[in-house]
Amino acid sequence: MQLYYSKNIPWPNSTQYRNPAFDAIFEQIVGMPDSPERTELYRQAERMVVEDLPNAYIYHRISYLLHHEWVKNIVPNSYRADTNGMGLTKFFQLDTDKRDAYKENFR
């Protein structure tokens, strides 16, 4: 939400979005503890941004993660993505027996 707060112009609010109603909600949210009231205020602020559309979202990235059958339980890390949209994996499990059998076939 701070990306659309008018006091953050020129950076990080590089869109130069200004909406006094949004700013008032944002200022109220900043000091609030997590609560249903705070969640509702976030929804209101989000609605304002979606209706005002200060950004034009022109694409949605799709990425694939190819792996061997001996790599299981992969949980991608969506927070850390590189320029290809592929992030580092947070968790995975190796079936070492399957891996070793695979390696034997290709020696």
The Cβ-side half-sphere exposure at 101, using a 13 Å CA radius, reads 8
Determine, yes or no, domain membership for 60.
no
- pLDDT by residue (tens digit) across 34-48? 999 999 999 999 999
Question: Could you tell me if 43 and 7 lie in one domain?
Answer: yes
Question: Could you tell me if 21 and 48 lie in one domain?
Answer: yes
% helix, strand, coil for the chain, step of 5: 40, 20, 40
Better-scored residue on pLDDT, 89 or 73? 73
Which tokens go with 86? 């592929």
Question: Could you tell me if 47 and 13 lie in one domain?
Answer: yes
The identity of residue 96, as a single letter, is T
Number of domains into which the chain is organized: 2
Q: Is the pLDDT of residue 17 over 90?
A: yes
Determine, yes or no, domain membership for 23.
yes
Q: Domain range for residue 23?
A: 2-52
Determine, yes or no, domain membership for 58.
no
Work out the number of other CB atoms within 10 angstroms of the CB of residue 28.
Answer: 13
- pLDDT by residue (tens digit) across 62-84? 767 777 888 888 877 666 555 45
Determine, yes or no, domain membership for 65.
no
Determine, yes or no, domain membership for 59.
no
